[in-house]
Amino acid sequence: MYICPMYSSELIKGTLRTIVLNLLKENGRMYGYEITQRVKELTDDKIQITEGALYPLLHALEASEDLETEVEFIGKRQRKYYRLTKQGKQTSKKKIDELREFIETLQILLDANKGTSHGLIN
Amino acid sequence: MYICPMYSSELIKGTLRTIVLNLLKENGRMYGYEITQRVKELTDDKIQITEGALYPLLHALEASEDLETEVEFIGKRQRKYYRLTKQGKQTSKKKIDELREFIETLQILLDANKGTSHGLIN
DNA sequence: ATGAATACATAAGTTTCTTATGTATATTTG
DNA sequence: CAAATATACATAAGAAACTTATGTATTCAT
């Protein structure tokens, strides 16, 4: 029994694809479950990717030829590794750049009007 | 005829509510159309809130008692001003803090593994 | 041997936008 | 002064991207 102190996860919408592409870019190849655990670990449990979100996304990225797969067996249990295709590397770069820009824009919005007569000291 | 160099706007999903609450926090009171224009202006046209997204959101925030309204008339044309209620100020603060934290977490994710043997120099 | 962790998958439902449409007033421009 | 654009509201249908629930199966820990 554990509590989940996550973000009201509407925020994750729209960023998940980029997060996954970025992880694959940095790590070469990963399998689904590994991705969920890595994100959980890197974000100190603050972002937890659900499997219901991840697997369909991976399938879609494979269908669009941004990812390719190879299946391996650990004992009798299958693991499906994903890696970026050449096209996927471009997509990845584009998405990551876009996300960084978006974050900058957000920060402008969040900081707008700070320090004017309105919002003085809180 | 104009081109719209916007973000692949899946990114906006989830942040719109917070953006609106933040603007109202900083500006006291605003009306719908004003909000769309302010965001457009502040983000140098990079984020454009559609009316189909904004008005239902404002109505929902009013229904949840985070916002209250007062209608004014400019000539014969009506303007509906929105302002944060006391509860809305708390909601606003919570959402903004959450978004800032989320951005930090995202940056950790985007920068993970940078500077290791994998990703050297690009 | 029982529960938890690992590892995949899909389906139904919800939220949250986009796109399209509608109404009406005010201003600019040719 | 007519027509286009801008201002100002609103709602409905559809799409996208999740969550929640469920299912199967293997492996590890107690």
Q: For residue A120, give the chain B residue with the closest CA.
A: B26
Judged against a pLDDT cut of 80, whether residue B107 lies above it is answered with yes
The domain total for chain B is 1
Question: What is the rounded distance in angstroms from the CA atom of residue A53 to the CA atom of residue B101?
Answer: 22
The CA distance from B113 to A70, in Å, is 23
Q: What is the pLDDT of residue B3?
A: 40
The pLDDT tens digits of the residues spanning A22-80 come to 999 999 999 999 999 999 999 999 999 999 999 999 999 999 999 999 999 999 999 99
Alpha-carbon span A95 to B68, nearest angstrom: 38
Chain A residues 1-40, Cβ below 7 A from strand C:
10, 13, 31-34, 37
Gap between the Cα atoms of A88 and A91, Å rounded: 5
Higher per-residue confidence, A1 vs A49: A49
Q: Write out the residue range of the structural domain in which residue B30 sits.
A: 12-110
Q: What are the φ and ψ backbone dihedral angles of B79, each rounded to 5 degrees?
A: -125, 135
pLDDT in tens, B7-51: 557 898 889 999 999 999 999 999 999 999 999 999 999 999 999
DSSP reduced 3-state for B82: strand
Distance B113 CA to D25 C1' (A): 33
Residue B29: inside a domain: yes
Looking up residue A92, the CATH number of its domain turns out to be 1.10.10.10
User: Considering only CA atoms, which of B19, B90, B94, B25 is closest in space to residue B57?
Assistant: B19
Q: Give dist(CA B108, CA B59) in Å, integer.
A: 35
Looking at the domain assignment, is residue B117 inside a domain? no
The average confidence (pLDDT) of chain B is: 89
